[in-house]
Amino acid sequence: MQKKINILFIGVFLFFSGCMSQIPKLTPSPNSPPSIKNVTFEEVDLNEDGEISKLEFIEVPQSQAIDTTTPVIWFIILIVLIGFMVCITKFLREKE
C-alpha cells in the first residue's frame, strides 16, 4: 500500500511540475504604470462650446485596467484541486 501512495505522490508531483514549468504572464508587473488612453479635446467636448463641463468629464470613457476574472478562475481551480486531493486521501484510507 505504501508503494502505491509513493507512486501516486510521484505521479502528482511530476504532473504538476510539468504544468507549472513555465508560468504564463497573465498580468502586468506591479510597478508598471497604468495604461492611459489618449483622448482629444474634441472627443470630450460633446456640446462643442469650447469648455469641458462636469457632465462631459464624467462621460469620458474610462479604461478598465483591473482584471477581475483571472483571480476568480485561479481560485476555482485551486478549490477543485484541493477537493480532488481530499477525495483521493479519503479513498486511499478506506482501502486500508
First-to-last C-alpha distance (Å) of the chain: 8
Residue 13 lies inside a defined structural domain of this protein:
no
Residue 51 lies inside a defined structural domain of this protein:
no
Residue 52 CA neighbour count, 13 Å, CB half: 12
Give how far the C-alpha of residue 31 lies from the chain's centroid of Cα atoms, to the nearest Å. Answer: 18
Residue 83 lies inside a defined structural domain of this protein:
yes
The residue that leads in pLDDT, 4 or 80, is: 80
Whether the full predicted model's pTM is greater than 0.75, yes or no, is no
Alpha helices in 1-96 (DSSP H): 2-19, 41-44, 54-58, 69-95
Is residue 20 over pLDDT 60? no
C-alpha gyration radius of the chain: 26
Residue 5 lies inside a defined structural domain of this protein:
no
Mean pLDDT throughout 16-29? 61
What total of structural domains would you count in the chain? 1
Residue 11 lies inside a defined structural domain of this protein:
no
Domain that holds residue 94: 71-96
